[in-house]
């Protein structure tokens, strides 16, 4: 598929692509999660992969290179830019029901605290 026609998938770094479990250290990015490399490589064939992080972009870029993802990742950003899909450990899917949404918000727990 030609790159200019690929839809973008925006991946959060912490808690999605790495083993982050709530202990933030601005100078250290936890190791890549098992299966993340394979997933990104496979998806990059049909989607434009962008990584979102609030971390220092140089440290994040170094992590991406060290984990050999640089061949598959088009950009690293600290802005949740428009995307076809957003993959994040702190997201709630809206299903059209505001009561359900309110309940999901009030009872939200990140996967690593469950």
CA distances to 2, 3, 33, 47, 85 from 74, rounded to whole Å, are 14, 10, 20, 10, 15
112 pLDDT tier (thresholds 50, 70, 90): confident
CA 76, 79, 85, 86 torsion-angle sign: positive
Kindly report the pTM of this predicted structure: 0.87
Length of the chain: 114
Domain that residue 88 falls in: 3-113
Work out how many domains the chain is built from and give that number: 1
pLDDT in the model for residue 3: 60
pLDDT in tens, 62-77: 999 999 999 999 999 9
What CATH number does the domain containing 95 carry?
Answer: 3.40.50.1000
pLDDT in tens, 8-24: 999 999 999 999 988 88
């Amino acid at each position: 598929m030609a790159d200019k026609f690929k839809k973008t998938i925006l991946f959060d770094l912490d808690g999605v692509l790495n083993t982050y479990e709530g202990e933030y250290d601005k100078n250290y990015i936890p190791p890549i999660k098992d299966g993340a490399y394979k997933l990104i490589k496979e998806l990059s064939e049909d989607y434009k992969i962008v990584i979102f992080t609030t971390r220092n972009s140089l440290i994040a870029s170094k992590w991406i290179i060290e984990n050999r993802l640089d061949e598959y990742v088009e950009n690293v950003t600290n802005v949740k830019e428009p995307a076809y899909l957003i993959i994040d450990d702190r997201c709630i899917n809206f299903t059209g029901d505001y009561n359900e949404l309110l309940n999901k918000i009030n009872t939200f727990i990140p996967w690593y605290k469950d």
